[in-house]
Structure formats: C-alpha cells, structure tokens
C-alpha cells in the first residue's frame, strides 16, 4: 500500500502529465477512491465546487482541453463514488453554514442590519447572473456578499449600534472594517482568494471611496457588484438615520449614481433582475429566511 506522501507525489505526476485536469479530480484518482474520502471532501469543500461527475466511470476522464484523453485507474464502485459525493456535499454545507453563522453574528450586533449579509448575497448573485456569469462565478459572488462585512466583528458595538448618524471620528473607525476583514480572511487564504474582493465594496468608481480610493476597473468586479448590492439593501432598509426607500426609488437612485459611485454595468444588471421579476421584497425575505433555516439544519447535524 502506498503512503500518503507517495500518493501525493503520484498526484503531482498526474497533474504534470494532464495539465487540463482539475486538481481535485486528479487528487481523488491518485489517492485511490477507496481511501481518499476525507481528503477529497476537504478539497472540494475548500474549493466550493461540487463534483462534476454524474457516473462513476466519468471520473476516468480528465476534464481538460482535450476531452478525448482518458486515464485508466481501474474499476470504481458506485458505492465508493457516492460516499465521496456525499462527504463533499456535507463538508461544503458545513463550510458555508459556518460562514453564514459568522455573518449572522455580525448582523445580530445591529438590530437595523439583521439579515443584511444574506440579502446582499442574494442581490449580488442576481447581479452576477444578469451580467452573464457562469454558475460557479455566481456562487463566488454570492459568497462575497455573505462575507463582505466580516470586518465589522472588530468594530465596537457602541458604534455599530448607535441609533443616530456617526460622528466624523466614529465614521473613520467604521471605515476600518474592510482592512479588518482582510486580516480575518488571512486565516483562510483560499476563501480570501475566491471571495475576498467583496471586501472592497466601499470603493467608488470615481475614486472617492475607501480604503484605497481605487477607480473604475481597478476595483475588482466582485467589489463593484457587492457595492451595488450593499447600497441597494441600505436604501431599502430602515436605518436610525433614514427610512427605507421603495425598491423603485432605490433603483432610480442607483441609476443616478451610475458612473460616479457605481459601475454602470452592475446597475444595469440589477435593473434587469427587477424587470424579470426576480428582485422583489418577498424574494429577498425568502432568501434570508431560507439561509437561516439551512444554518439550523447544518448546525443540528
């Protein structure tokens, strides 16, 4: 029987020989289907990608630039294959559930922002969808929306909970939350790489935002998308210093600020979502409630 180190070396050789293959698929093959469930589950959970195979025999194909190429690793039992799929799904749900629970903990610190992160994630995913992004990219954008305010866990409650507009000094402290978020995500490098750009949702396309004063396309697309989603939720939610606007009035405000504060393409995308009937208060509430129910289900396992 090969050792784990030998298995990993074998996987590295497979990757070099088949550069178009996904790392997760080759790792699964290299470790042997019967004994790699735990490791493969972790890989898939971290990468946030479901298994791309419908039948066990399909794992024999390397999904690369040349789909006709095959690797023969012997027979694979359906039972083992399903164990891998189920373990990967469970770990992904646990991973996402943990992220959502952290976001919910932040939202719960301020009664005015309860459910904010999930709504921003919902709006962000709609924008990504109507910008023509792939399902995998939409998932990344959704995750960015969930974690966009993670840095607020490092902001004092008296500032987050203040039932009035912030003073200049308090606002300067609040503006530190994107940097604090970066520090927090350093503990999970792959998560930061995949979705960390959403932390830049306070950058404005005219360069007037923070923390770096980036302009236009210098702001990562995920940051520009979450910026529109975050602002839309702020406009449509009661706050201590302002009453909620209607969805229609909020969309008009976004359009007015397109090219100044917001990316015009992102604004157009959220307008398309509204025109398609996908952007409604009821749908936003359902998305938030469904996410919380999913958290309860994950926590009870």
* Greater pLDDT, 65 or 294: 294
Q: pLDDT class for 108, splitting at 50, 70, 90?
A: confident
What integer best gives the mean pLDDT of the chain? 76
* Greater pLDDT, 21 or 240: 240
Q: What pLDDT shows up at residue 131?
A: 98
Average of pLDDT values for 21-48? 38
Neighbours of 13 (CB within 10 A): 12
Q: pLDDT class for 164, splitting at 50, 70, 90?
A: confident
Smallest CA-to-CA distance from 123 within 245, 3, 235 is with 235
pTM above 0.85, yes or no: no
Surface-to-core class of residue 33, CB atoms within 10 Å of its CB (0-12 exposed, 13-18 middle, 19+ buried): buried
Average of pLDDT values for 121-136? 96
Average of pLDDT values for 90-119? 76
Sequence-distant (≥ 6) Cβ neighbours of residue 148 within 8 angstroms: 117, 120, 181, 198, 199, 201, 226, 230
Using DSSP's 3-state secondary structure scheme, residue 215 falls into strand
- Boundaries of every domain in the chain: 4-90, 109-299
Instruction: Name which CATH class applies to 109-299.
Output: mainly alpha
pLDDT at 33 over 90: no
């Amino acid at each position: 029987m090969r050792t784990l180190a030998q298995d990993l070396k074998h996987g590295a050789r497979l990757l070099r020989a088949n550069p178009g293959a996904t790392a997760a698929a080759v790792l699964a093959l290299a470790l042997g289907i019967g004994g790699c469930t735990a490791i493969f589950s972790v890989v898939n959970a971290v990468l946030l990608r479901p298994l791309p195979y419908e039948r066990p025999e399909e794992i024999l194909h390397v999904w690369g630039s040349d789909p006709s190429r095959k690797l023969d690793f012997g027979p694979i039992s359906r039972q083992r294959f399903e164990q891998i799929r189920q373990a990967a799904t469970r770990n992904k749900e646990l991973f996402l559930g943990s992220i959502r629970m952290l976001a919910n903990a932040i939202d719960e610190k301020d009664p005015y922002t309860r459910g904010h992160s999930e709504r921003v994630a919902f709006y962000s995913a709609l924008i990504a969808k109507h910008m023509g992004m792939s399902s995998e990219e939409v998932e990344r954008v959704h995750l960015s929306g969930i974690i966009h305010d993670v840095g607020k866990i490092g902001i004092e409650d008296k500032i987050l909970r203040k039932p009035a507009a912030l003073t200049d000094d308090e606002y300067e402290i609040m503006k530190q939350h994107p940097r604090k978020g970066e520090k927090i995500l350093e503990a999970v490098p792959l998560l930061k790489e995949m979705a960390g750009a959403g932390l830049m949702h306070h950058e404005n396309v005219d360069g007037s935002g923070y923390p770096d004063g980036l302009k236009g396309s210098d702001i990562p697309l995920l940051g520009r998308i979450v910026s529109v989603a975050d602002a839309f939720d702020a406009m449509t939610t009661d706050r201590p210093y302002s009453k909620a606007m209607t969805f229609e009035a909020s969309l008009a405000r976004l359009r007015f600020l397109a090219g100044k504060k917001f990316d015009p393409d992102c604004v157009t995308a959220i307008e398309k979502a509204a025109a398609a009937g996908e952007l409604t208060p009821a749908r936003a509430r359902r998305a938030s409630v469904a996410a919380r129910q999913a958290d309860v289900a994950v926590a009870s396992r």
